[in-house]
Amino acid sequence: MPVKITEEEMRYISLFESLTGVVVKDCVIDNSRGRIIFLVKEGQVGKAVGKNGINIKRLNKLIGKSIEVVEYAETLEDLIRKSLFPAKISSVKLTKTSNGRKVVIVTVPASEKGIAIGKDGKNISRARILAKRYFDVDWVTIV
């Protein structure tokens, strides 16, 4: 599924790349949660975040929104795992409902459920946004 990037997202990507020196694959502006999610090239999350989170803090101050970084992945399962990091994921299963909706069921140990969901559901929301954007998934649920 081709992803369309807006002019505003392009500006954020340019700013992020110039500040961090990493390759940004995508940028999602989530106004409902006041955040920007950057998908960076595999293996570049550490560099993107910077020592003690310095790059994220700097960007947060410049932009005035919360900054989140997710490592890009080619497959749905890997993208879900990376978007829910640091939660330990037991399994990721794609199913179709009787009305044709695509639903991902993510199984996590009971002790990891809170981490996977995140404060006010921010982590599961991030996984839903990215799964919809890249794989046209209608819903992601954690069990």
Domains of the chain and any CATH numbers: 7-71 (3.30.300.20), 76-142 (3.30.300.20)
Q: Model pTM?
A: 0.93
Contact 92, 130 (CB under 8 A): no
Q: Are strands 102-107 and 35-40 parallel, antiparallel or unpaired?
A: unpaired
Each residue of 20-65: pLDDT tens digit? Answer: 999 999 999 999 999 999 999 999 999 999 999 999 999 999 999 9
Q: What pLDDT, on a 0 to 100 scale, did the predictor assign at position 1?
A: 57
- The pLDDT tens digits of the residues spanning 86-123 come to 999 999 999 999 999 999 999 999 999 999 999 999 99
Local structure of 4: helix, strand or coil = coil
Q: Which two tokens stand for residue 23?
A: 């390759």
